[in-house]
Amino acid sequence: MLEDLKKKLVSSLEFIYPDLDSSFLANELIQTMGLDQQCQNPKDHQNNWDESETLLITYADSIHNTAAATTEKPLVTLYNFLQGHLKETISSVHILPYFPYSSDDGFSVMDYLAVNESHGDWEDIERIANEFTFMSDLVINHMSARSRWFDNFKKRIDPGKDYFYEGNPQDDLSAVVRPRTSPLLNPVTTEDGERFVWCTFSEDQVDLNFENPKVLLEFVNIVKHYLDHGVKIFRLDAVAFLWKKAGTPSIHLQETHEIIKLFRVLIEHHSPDAVIITETNVPNRENLTYFGNANEAHVIYNFSLPPLLIYSLISGDCRHLKTWLMSMPPAQMGTTYLNFIASHDGVGLRPTDGLLAEEEKNQMVSTMLQFGGQMTYRRSREGTDKPYEMNISLYDAMKGTIAQGEDKWQLQRYLCAHAIMMALEGIPAFYIHSLFGTENDYARMENTGRARSINRSQWDISELEDQIENKFSHHSKVFSRMNELIAIRKKQSAFHPNATQFTLHLGLQIFGFWRQSMRRDQSIFCINNISNEVQDIALSDINLIGTDDWVDLLSGLKVDDLAGSLTLAPYQTVWLSNR
């Protein structure tokens, strides 16, 4: 088994580091992961999930206890909330970077091996990991400019001397794909004089240099550390930008894909039930490449879903959503999609390239601004600033429509969006604020000076529980209905992440698709009115099988007359199942 493992590692290492001894480096990687002591044999195309899989996305301190007498750390508060309110709903928990950091709410990591002491400690992480499948960020592209490694870089000593990527201002960097408008190269004074470090995202987030194999070994050691503390899902943050090369776009380079393969091989030989998820907020066709040949990411984010679904619901037109869904290849066994419609970041617009016209994007942006949202920009290759990300809470994004502005259908539109997301091929992921219908947080945004903070609220546990218990609060209505939808979804074999999916054609105001279980013992027709008007559908257009008994899982309504019609209220969803 070790020889087969080594062959796989050497195959990638020879491409990444053609001038190094790949066999020697492979042995170092194996020893660092402890695979020379214990190595498991992963099965090809193994699904480490089923229809009961649901993922929660949260910061360590999204919920905290501000009671004057308490010294409770946020990770303890979070654990108590999960146990008290979400134990039957959520199976996996993604806690966004919980390490010491200097900026970007955690994504500028100062120490990968420590837990931010203001949040808690490793025991708190392990307590959550013992109850839920635990997902951790591996912030692999960049590190804080205030880290020990970067201090050593400036001092020109190890570890850190050659850990960060240096650029030359004289090089042609015009082709580099930028997600920000900040300078790509930043001057730094070191013991050897001025150096220019590569900063894809910000001056405080300095890109790491994977051309140095010591950096690769450091991160393999970090991965082993996380596995030892109960991490089972690894989110490779901003991994598309990992390998840089002057004169190229410096995104999606083959070296990056080979490094992902390396991590996949090492992780699954340590823990066959562990999973890699790549975070690549890019156009859809580029995103799909991170599956590789079922040998890179186990799971990729469905980044095109949030903007397309928002556009469909505020325009009342699902043609682009249908076109996209028809173009999505079924994921191979052992791989799947992560479906989400809200996260700690804003709603990216690059994943709509080739899917929405510029005029349609502009209409959506204008509407989000009208609903209180903000906009961040990126620097294009032409040197102009283009809209990159819509910053708005999902609840406020559902306030109304492009044509008519705010209306009375916000709650129904919001729940419809989640019902669609839950039913699609893949694993559903819920940003914690989506469970409560949290609104735009203008105070937090003003306090931090960052647009993304509008959707990064922090709830006091007492206030949150009061809102959940108040049946007249929209927070309570959202939380209650979301839990009901998830509970129903988790019981349906046709909603397995790899179950068959086909797109239905029922007009522009009805978004529909069909799911069939892998055992073919259940079919569900997911029919969604994405408009603010009542819609009637002839049941003959859905092609329900006459010998089966059909029932709407959400309302309990039985469908007896297949020659009749189905009437849907604005933003109503039905899940017609034959069992």
Encode pLDDT of 496-539 as tens digits: 999 999 999 999 999 999 999 999 999 999 999 999 999 999 99
In SS3 terms, 13-38 reads as: HHHHCCCCCHHHHHHHHHHHCCCCCC
Around 568, how many Cα atoms within 13 Å sit in the side-chain half-sphere?
29
Residues 6+ apart with CB under 8 A from 329: 288
Helix (H, G, I), strand (E, B) or coil at 429: strand
Distances in Å between the alpha carbon of 449 and those of 113, 349, 369, 444, 460?
Answer: 29, 22, 17, 8, 22
579 — pLDDT class (breaks 50, 70, 90): confident
> Predicted confidence band at 546 (pLDDT cuts at 50, 70, 90)?
confident
372 vs 314: CA distance, rounded Å: 15
pLDDT given at position 68: 59
Query: CA-to-CA distance for 163 and 336, rounded, in angstroms?
Result: 33
Give the start-to-end residue ranges of the domains of the chain: 500-577
Mark residue 510 as left, alpha or beta (left: phi above 0; alpha: psi -120 to 50; beta: remaining).
Answer: beta
Cα distances from 2 to residues 17, 26, 35, 153, 275, in angstroms, run: 21, 11, 8, 36, 21
What is the tens place of the pLDDT at every residue in 198-213?
999 999 999 999 999 9
Nearest to 307 by CA among 344, 378, 361, 386: 361
Residue-wise pLDDT tens digits, 143-194: 999 999 999 999 999 999 999 999 999 999 999 998 888 999 999 999 999 9
| Predicted local distance difference test score (pLDDT) of residue 95 | 98
- Please, where are the H alpha helices in 229-378? 254-270, 284-288, 305-315, 319-327, 358-370
- Whether 561 is catalytic is no
* DSSP assignment of 99-133: S-BSSGGGTSBS-TTS--TTT--HHHHHHHHHHSE
Count of positions (residues) in the chain: 579
Distances in whole angstroms, Cα of residue 278 to Cα of each of 222, 297, 300, 397, 421:
17, 6, 5, 26, 19
Q: Following DSSP, what letter does each residue of 450-496 receive, concatenated?
A: -GGGGG---EEHHHHHHHHH-TTSHHHHHHHHHHHHHHHHTT-GGGS
Q: Which of 229-243, 249-263, 384-398 has the lowest mean pLDDT?
A: 384-398
Catalytic residue selected from 104, 124, 137, 237: 237
Segment 233-251, tens digit of pLDDT: 999 999 999 999 999 999 9
Whether the pLDDT of residue 553 is over 80: the answer is: yes
For domain 500-577, give the CATH superfamily. Golgi alpha-mannosidase II (2.60.40.1180)
Query: Mind spelling out the 3-state secondary structure of 519-558?
Result: CCCCEEEEEEECCCCCEEEEHHHCCCCCCCCEEECCCCCE
What's the whole-number mean pLDDT along residues 382-388?
79
Express each pLDDT in 462-506 by its tens digit.
999 999 999 999 999 999 999 999 999 999 999 999 999 999 999
Query: What is the structure's pLDDT at 285?
Result: 93
What confidence category does residue 69 fall into, taking pLDDT thresholds of 50, 70 and 90?
A: low
Q: Is 531 exposed, middle or buried (0-12, 13-18, 19+ CB in 10 A)?
A: buried
Residue 380, pLDDT > 80, answer no
Stretch 310-325: mean pLDDT, rounded?
A: 98
Calculate mean pLDDT across residues 213-233.
Answer: 98
C-alpha dihedral, 25 to 29 to 35 to 40, nearest 10°: -100
SS3 80: helix
The Cα 405–Cα 435 span in angstroms is 24
The answer to whether residue 382 scores a pLDDT higher than 80 is no
Number of H helices, E strands in the chain: 16, 27
Tell me the per-residue pLDDT of 413-451, one tens digit each, with 9 for 90 and over. 999 999 999 999 999 999 999 999 999 999 999 999 999
pLDDT of res. 168: 94
Q: Which of 311, 285, 313, 315 is nearest to 300 (CA)?
A: 285
Q: What is the pLDDT of residue 560?
A: 86
Kindly tell me if the per-residue pLDDT of 383 is higher than 80: no
CB-based contacts of 542-548 (< 8 A; 24+ apart in sequence): 542/504, 542/506, 542/512, 542/566, 542/576, 544/576, 544/578, 545/578, 548/523, 548/578, 548/579
Q: What percent of the chain has pLDDT over 70?
A: 99
